[in-house]
Chains A and B, each alone.
Chain A
């Protein structure tokens, strides 16, 4: 299955140098009429509506190239799902521009749909009462997938996602992990060049999570599928994505390779020292004591201003030390820091 065969239609091939996904000042404001109860209330709401506005996406500009694997992260209510819904053509943007493979999704919804696969972890796209195979058959008819290609991809999915045991069970009887695998297969049966995954590993156990991670990593690597992944599990992101887009209050506050965000925030390192005896309130010049637990103390220092070798010398001169380790901040810690303290990347890198 060469990549060219699965490329996103003629318009995309024409603009091969244009990014696959482009948004410019994309905005979405949810406008909800305040509801009044009952039929008469509904009529009243129709004729003299009272609106409440909520800005979900507040001017988002980004460009995504073919074959990228983006971690799209941000706190609850940041506007991630809303963005994905605009990219998929579910929602019409309130302002700004969006183009996916040369198509404006909400204008040419059906054309766009051929290029994309979508998995919403929160909500299945499968038919509740049908066994997985029936849903797949229906999708085959919907996308007009030729019988031989259908068989080939389905067999591959059954093997990769280990779905053999529950293919004929009605979806409503499947466990969450089984259902999610079914959802993945359903989203990819037509071999879309773009895949949107909105919290696809939510509520899965470690084994199922790993199966799905391996699967998407492979799809991205071998088929060049462009993937946008939304998740609160930063281990997913760390494992799979090269680039992250971090949004908060509907605005992108960071967009770049994972290494960069780590570098900017990774100025802080932790020196973990294990003493040979209980030591209360140890000190090292140039480092801040974070905690002491039994014989282990944790010091935080700024990598840019303090030299590690000096700190190590300093601590071993002063105390009797059994073991020393230096911890790099994990993505999780960095992101937690940004969610609580706000992002200050601009000032820092300036």
Chain B
């Protein structure tokens, strides 16, 4: 399995070399995308110097934390978004006739993926950590790494859940779109600014708040104004990522038994 994974990355790199223009366009897009989001954040914060007790520097860190986890997910698990299409078109068949786990095979469909966004995220996060004045110890580095993995796990768990739904439903695009916009819109600000309903959703239903809000309160030593939880709750992120991934994977396996393919 490792050999196959290595081969997959080898092929990815080779194809990127072939499609250089495409790659640079994507990279430019990633920079513009996150740059715009951060600029919008800065403009907002010029008008409100503090948002529910969060300064611009702290919000920068909040965003960088989400961005890096999300880009880690994109680098490793991006192919999951193609699953509904594979299923609808019957192209999923092939994953059944090869001697590996179907999900593993989905993740290793050569796709010109490169962890450029993740590297950009790491740089941004390093800057943001510095700007936010977080005292960095080896332990901080370790916990940040764990939180990033957990965040990517939450992302994976949720996208895998939506993908697995398509074993039963032909179209899940709308649902996927809703989930994606929720994630993009509601991870930019501290969740304490939202109404109670939204907060509950972000903490307990689609736990995007664990990708950045809760861990950020921990690293920044802030009081959680949303639920009044202790900052250490932020350290639960890896656990929640694992839980979501595990549950979605079980759901996925259930879906496999339901796979009907297409008629031709």
Contact = CB atoms under 8 A, between A and B. Distances in A.
A125 B94 contact: yes
B98 A113 contact: yes
Nearest to B177: A39
Contacts of B99: 110-111, 113-114, 142-143
Contacts of B6: 141
A42 interface: yes
Contact of B264 (A32, A88, A114, A122): A122
B259 A90 contact: yes
Contacts of B98: 113, 142
A30 B260 CA distance: 7
B8 interface: yes
Contact of B15 (A35, A38, A129, A137): A129
Contacts of A81: 264
A91 B169 contact: no
Given A85-B93, A127-B109, A39 B261 contact: no
Contacts of B3: 141, 144
B100 A127 contact: no
A90 B261 contact: yes
Interface in A134-170: 134, 137-138, 140-144
B97 A116 contact: yes
A92 interface: yes
A195 B228 CA distance: 62
Interface string A74-91: 000000010001001111
B90 interface: yes
A277 to B, nearest CB: 53
Nearest to A130: B110
Nearest to A106: B257
A129 B110 contact: yes
A317 B15 CA distance: 78
Contacts of A138: 4, 7-8, 11, 108, 110
B130 interface: no
Contact of A89 (B97, B112, B171): B97
Contacts of A92: 257, 259
A33 B175 contact: no
Contacts of B11: 130, 134, 137-138
A109 interface: yes
A141 B99 CA distance: 11
Contacts of A318: none
B7 A137 contact: yes
A42 B261 contact: no
Nearest to B264: A122
B168 interface: yes
Given A118-B97, A130-B11, A123 B90 contact: yes
A78 to B, nearest CB: 12
Contacts of B90: 123
Contacts, number: 86
B15 A90 contact: no
B174 A141 contact: no
A120 B172 CA distance: 27
B103 to A, nearest CB: 12
A33 B94 CA distance: 24
A197 to B, nearest CB: 13
A42 B169 contact: yes
Contacts of A109: 96
B170 interface: yes
A42 B171 contact: yes
Interface in B149-184: 168-172, 174-175, 178
Interface in B222-258: 257
B91 interface: yes
Contacts of B171: 35, 37, 42
A302 to B, nearest CB: 40
B119 interface: no
A91 B261 contact: yes
A19 interface: no
Q: Which of B7, B11, B91, B99 has the most CB of A within 10 A?
A: B99
7 cross-chain pairs, A with B, having the tightest CB-CB distances, nearest first: A39-B174, A141-B7, A113-B99, A141-B4, A90-B96, A141-B3, A110-B99
21 contacts: A35-B171, A39-B174, A39-B175, A42-B169, A42-B171, A42-B172, A46-B169, A88-B97, A89-B97, A90-B96, A91-B261, A92-B257, A113-B98, A122-B264, A125-B94, A127-B110, A129-B15, A134-B110, A137-B7, A141-B7, A144-B3
Interface of A: 30, 32-33, 35, 37-39, 42, 45-46, 81, 85, 88-92, 106, 109-111, 113-114, 116, 118, 120, 122-123, 125, 127, 129-130, 134, 137-138, 140-144
Given A89-B96, A142-B100, 18 more contacts: A32-B260, A33-B168, A35-B171, A42-B171, A42-B175, A90-B93, A90-B261, A114-B99, A116-B97, A120-B93, A123-B91, A130-B11, A130-B110, A134-B11, A134-B110, A138-B4, A141-B7, A142-B4
